[in-house]
Structure formats: C-alpha cells, structure tokens
C-alpha cells in the first residue's frame, strides 16, 4: 500500500513537467510559457503547490534555497507574480483529478467502501477573500453584519468520507446556488472515476425535487437531511421511523422551480408524486433528524442509514482544514486569478 502511494505521488510529480500540463496552464493563450526563463512553468507550479501561508518573498526563498538547494533566489517577486497572473488555475484541478483517477481506477484494493459503496458528502461554504474592488466586483460581497462589504466567495466540495479527501472542489461568486455547484461536483466525479455504486450525503440546504431527479438520472444513491419545514405534510403524516413516502408534486412546489428548471417542470407535469424513503434518526434523547433517501431497505436497514448520517461529519473537519490553509492573509495576490489558484492548490495531492 505504501509503495503504491509513493508511486502515485511520483507519477503526479512527473506530470507537472509534461506537455499536457503546459497546455492546460496556458488556458486560452497558447503563446505563454514557451520561452526558457529563470523560473520555468514547472517551478511556478511546484512553488505554488508548496505554499505554506508565508508572504511571497519568503515563499520564493523557501522554495529556491531550502527545497531546490540554490544559493540565492534568482527571480524577483514582481516577475514571479507576473507569471502567476498568466497561469490557468484549472491546471491544479487537472493535477488533482489525475491523482484521484489513479487512486480509484488503478488501486481498487486500497479504496475503502461502506457495504460496497463509495460514500461522499457534498457541502458548501462561504469565506472571505482579499477585500479588493476587483474581487468585490467579481465574486461579490457580504451585505450585512459587521463585515458588510467584505469580498466573499462560495465554495463547494465533494469529500470521500471513507478515504478522507476531497475529490473535487469548486469556487464561485458569493451566493452561487449550492445545488448547482453540487451538480458540477457530481458530474466531475463521474468524469474522474468509473464506479457504479456511489452514495452522496447532503445536508439541509439541498432538498429539492429537481435535485432528487438529477441524482436518480445519474444513478446516484443519496441520503439528504431535511428541515422540519421541508415537505411538512409528508412529515406530519409520517408515523413510522423508516418507511416509503410519496412526495407530492403540488402546484406550488412546481411553480417554485418553473423559472429555473422549465424543462424539468414540463417533463414531470403529468406525475403526481415521487416515492422516496423517509428515515427518522435519533441524535439524542430529545433530538431526531429526518432523512430522505433512495436506498432500499433490503440493502441498507435503519441502522445502516444512521451510520451513514454519522459519517457525514467528516466533511466538516476537512473543510476546517481547507479553510485554515486559505486564510485571507496568506493569499498570493489580490486578483481573482490568485484566489482561484490558491484555493485549488490546497486540494492537490502531491
């Protein structure tokens, strides 16, 4: 197992020097990163990936002197940042996707599962970014509270709860729909790995008839936490701890989705309801949590569902780790491109 881990890291490291990564790094400008420079593209990528929250001068010194073993830093901060501004942030997502694909598709004996399924949790979070005008205009800003008019962004991550890493992260302007970002995470996962048995855990922000339909159409099993105000009639009539329920496709529910999902609403207008499984999970003597799932009782009993619910807290811990790596004072620069680069860098396994 250790040998395959080292092999994966070595393969990912070599990929940094490949023509494929050069092409992705150039984005829509095929003419950049062509000439030989004091700091070639591979050094730019490695220095970015080795970032440890220091200011740029110290990051360069740490990379060239302590890691490369040179006697001095042979590039100025200004020259380095000029090159970074040209860099396509997607190169870091591509590096991570390669590592993730290698793990799931080539090291199947090492992949941990629960009852034969890969278990993922998706969650979103908002966080502060450097408070510059360009970031406020591009990403948006908070509108109330003590931190009014601070630049903020919204992130979404898909975390493997058994193998303990993010398989995909994305960052968008502040208050972007978490449901739409979750869909992107799922579609990215399906591009990266070839595995049929997948369960996705989702919290209270995600219950949506349209999302349930999306997950079913992508052959994804799901467990979603619902609020007391979600599907109130169905919860009121629910008398067991674990049973099938018919979620009514009422006119008011469909009308809420019409503007955003007209095709979906047109497709289901003849249906009266969708059938899902509702499960009551006991959190404490006084607290219960209500879940909706498309998992069958024959495969996952009530206790199994409860165990799945308990596992989802792994994403909270991982998000805290991710946020600690991207503290506002440690961003490389004050442009949106640096925000994307630094955010994606934190999730590269190399």
Can you count the helices (H) and strands (E) in the chain? 15, 8
Domain boundaries, the chain: 204-311
> Mean per-residue pLDDT for 45-63?
88
Cα 230 to Cα 203, 235, 289, 308, distances in angstroms:
12, 8, 12, 21
What would the pLDDT profile of 232-278 be if each residue is shown by its tens digit? Answer: 999 999 988 999 999 999 999 999 998 899 999 999 888 899 999 99
What would the pLDDT profile of 82-134 be if each residue is shown by its tens digit? Answer: 999 999 999 999 999 999 999 998 888 899 999 999 999 999 989 899 999 99
DSSP calls for 32-89: SS-S--SS-HHHHHHHHHT--S--HHHHHHIIIIIIS--SS--S-HHHHHHHHHHS-T
In this prediction the pTM is 0.91
Residue 246 main-chain phi, psi, to 5 deg: -100, 110
Tell me if 336 sits within 8 A of 135, measured CB to CB.
yes
Tell me if 211 sits within 8 A of 179, measured CB to CB.
yes
* Pairing mode, strands 198-202 and 288-293: unpaired
Which of these, 333, 293, 285, lies nearest to 309 by C-alpha position?
293
Distance CA 124, CA 186 (A): 13
Residue 223 main-chain phi, psi, to 5 deg: -130, 120
């Amino acid at each position: 197992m250790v040998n395959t881990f080292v092999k994966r890291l070595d393969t990912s490291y070599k990929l940094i020097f490949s023509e494929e990564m050069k092409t992705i790094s150039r984005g829509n400008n095929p003419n950049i990163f062509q000439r030989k420079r004091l700091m070639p593209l591979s050094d730019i990528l490695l220095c970015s990936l080795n970032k440890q929250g220091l200011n740029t001068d110290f990051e360069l010194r740490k990379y060239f002197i302590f890691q490369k073993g040179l006697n001095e830093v042979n590039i100025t901060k200004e020259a380095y940042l000029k090159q970074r501004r040209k860099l396509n942030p997607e190169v870091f997502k591509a590096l991570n996707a390669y590592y993730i694909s290698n793990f799931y598709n080539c090291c199947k004996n090492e992949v941990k599962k629960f009852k034969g399924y890969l278990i993922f949790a998706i969650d979103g979070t908002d966080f502060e970014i450097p408070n510059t005008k360009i970031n406020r205009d591009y990403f948006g800003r908070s509108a109330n509270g003590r931190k009014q008019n601070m630049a903020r962004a919204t992130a979404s991550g898909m975390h493997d709860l058994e193998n303990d890493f993010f398989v995909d992260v994305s960052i968008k302007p502040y208050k972007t729909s978490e449901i739409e970002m979750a869909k992107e995470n799922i579609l990215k996962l399906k591009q990266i790995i070839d595995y049929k048995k997948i369960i996705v855990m989702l919290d209270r922000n995600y219950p949506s008839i349209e999302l349930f339909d999306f997950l079913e159409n992508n052959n994804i099993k799901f467990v979603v936490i619902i609020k007391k105000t979600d599907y109130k009639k169905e919860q009121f009539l629910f008398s067991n701890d674990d049973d099938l329920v018919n979620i009514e496709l009422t006119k008011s529910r469909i009308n809420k989705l019409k503007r955003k999902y007209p095709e979906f609403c047109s497709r289901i207008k003849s249906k009266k309801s969708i059938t899902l499984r509702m499960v009551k999970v006991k959190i404490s003597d006084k607290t219960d949590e209500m879940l909706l799932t498309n998992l069958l009782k024959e495969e996952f009993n009530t206790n199994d569902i409860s165990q799945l619910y308990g596992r989802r807290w792994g994403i909270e811990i991982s998000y805290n780790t991710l946020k600690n790596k991207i503290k506002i004072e440690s961003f490389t620069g004050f442009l949106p491109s640096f925000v994307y680069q630094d955010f994606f860098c934190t999730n590269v396994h190399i």
